[in-house]
Amino acid sequence: MTDGIPLKPRLKPDEYRCVWLVPEGDRTRRLDGDVELLADRPPRGNVYGDVPMESQTSPNGEVSTSFPQVRSHNVLRGELRNGLDVLLLDAQVVTWQPDAAVIDARAALVGSWSTNSDPILFDDIKLQITSLDAISGVGPLKSFTFPTNGTDFYSQSWTVTANPESEQSWSDSGVEFELSYDASLSIGDAYFYRMSFSPTLWIKLPNRLTFDDCLRAWVEPIRRIVSLASGRSEQLTFLAMGVRSDDKVAPARKQRLQVYGHGISQEPFASRGNEVSRIKPAFTTRWNGISLLDLVRRWQALTSEHHPLLETYGSSIVIPRQHPRAQYLLLIQALEGLHGYEHKSETERRVAEHDNKRTQALEELESAAGLPGPVTRFIKKFLSKKPHFSLDACLRDLFQTLPRDVTSDLEKTDLLRSVQDDPRRPEGVAGALRIIRNDLAHGTKGYPIQDLGEVSQVLERVARAHLLRVLGCDVDVQTRAVHPEQY
């Protein structure tokens, strides 16, 4: 429900009648139809009437048409009955019969739009993500006064003071971020009064980007960063893109289209204090002095570098649920990749030293007398070309570099206590984690799901703290990520 919520969708999720502008060569056919705009679903539609089709003419002059026929459009435009425009991106029109076709598309853009370009370009993004208010760190209202009892209800005033610190902005190289609140006020009713606020982020770009570039460079990194801060899988509740006007009198937000498609819940919300207080984010932009734009820039740079922690753990933080087995394996892989990435030069040095020693050993082997040929060939084939790298040492190093070591937390888990009695005799927590990883990866042994989940929760805090470190967050932020229950 959107009643009383300042940030409202252009259209509630539903099916709407429209007229499709279907291209056919140099002309366009106007055909009746409908479009289905649902929450967290790609749009679908129908076209009715004389749908463009291709026919074949045989040598004897007979004309025939085969089905199904498929036509693809980068952008398929339509006009809704309420006067709004709808633009389907990557639309595929499938015709099964002469007078009807079905449309499947990647995303739908709804609003008033007069710009003609292919591809469609945007320099204005407005979005809302759950927990955006929590990482902001400050609400839109600063203070309140109100009558307390008796006749004071009639003799004293109700007052509310806005908090200007709730509006935060950052900029660099022409990009501007504005984190603020849309407001809704109910006034003029002698029987009812209400104020509500929706947290939003408005992004202004210096250069116009395609829809895909907006998602890849800005929307997805922001959603993942908010999820990383909150420790939860956050939802994109509202997304709109547009082009700012060049008109100096009315410069902003002249043309904006709301996006409908997979991954957008279409449930914009108003903030409530009790809900915000339940979230314990690792940082807030206001009180930790963190620039959300700087974090996104760092995320973009790490993406370009194919940073292993970003591509493994960073890609998983927006997945609502994972099986504990998959989560455990992914986290161990993410931590191992992080350690290797950050110790790349040391690894290269060790590999070079090992290669020299191996070459010398093989040369001496060649000159040695009396060794049978099969033995020599066996040694050459199976003498490792790389030095041994220990997962145990990698995990111990990553645990010790945290602001607070989690080794004691892992030692208390049922799973690691049970593995300590394994005949393979693991050496401490790191050795037990390695044995579990090998068993799961090779399929030689399974473990109780609940026990795996308990260990994975601790490992997830480790990966979370290290990713925040890699993004440039300080020790206090990392500490909150490692032990959120203490704050």
Q: Give strand pairing partners of 201.
A: 127, 179
Instruction: List, in order, residues 6 or more apart from 115 with CB less than 8 Å away.
Output: 243, 255
Side chain identity at 20, as an amino acid letter? W
* Higher pLDDT pick, 467 / 322: 467
Token pair, residue 485, equals 């229950």
pLDDT at 24: 87
Could you give the CA distance from residue 456 to residue 332 in angstroms, rounded to a whole number? 9
- For 34-60, give the DSSP string: EEEE-TTS--EEEEESS-----EE-TT
Q: For 264, which DSSP code?
A: B
pLDDT digits (tens, 9 = 90+) for 202-246: 999 999 999 999 999 999 999 999 999 999 999 999 999 998 766
Q: What is the pLDDT of residue 97?
A: 87
Are the beta carbons of 84 and 10 closer than 8 angstroms? Answer: yes
Rounded Cα gap, residues 398 and 392, in angstroms: 10
pLDDT > 70? residue 294:
yes
Hey, which residues does 1 pair with through a beta bridge?
none
State whether residue 177 is helix, strand or coil.
strand
Closest CA to 86 of 38, 8, 16, 30: 16
Please give the Cα distance from 72 to 160 (Å, whole number): 55
Q: What is the mean pLDDT of the chain?
A: 89
Q: What is the pLDDT of residues 434-458, one digit of tens each?
A: 999 999 999 999 999 999 999 999 9
- CA distance linking residue 349 with residue 333, whole number of Å: 23
Q: Report how far residue 64's alpha carbon sits from residue 214's, in angstroms, rounded to the nearest whole number.
A: 44
Distance CA 11, CA 6 (A): 14
- Residue ranges in 137-281 assigned as alpha helix (H): 152-155, 211-214, 220-230, 273-278
Report how far residue 45's alpha carbon sits from residue 50's, in angstroms, rounded to the nearest whole number: 16
Contacts of 266 (CB under 8 A, 6+ apart): 9, 12, 13, 38, 39, 40, 237, 238, 260
Position 475 scores a pLDDT of 95
Band of pLDDT at residue 1, cut at 50, 70 and 90: very low
Q: How far is the CA of 98 from the CAs of 26, 28, 50, 351, in angstroms?
A: 21, 17, 7, 67
Cα angle value 245/246/248 (rounded, 5°): 105
Q: Examine the pLDDT at 397 and tell me if it is beyond 70.
A: yes
Domain boundaries, the chain: 14-53+67-113, 123-304, 314-486
| Contact status, residue 179 vs residue 136, Cβ threshold 8 Å | yes
pLDDT in tens, 49-107: 988 887 777 677 777 677 888 999 999 999 999 999 999 999 999 998 888 999 999 99
Instruction: Give pLDDT, residue 116.
Output: 73
pLDDT of residue 39: 95
**Dist CA 288 CA 261 (whole Å):** 34
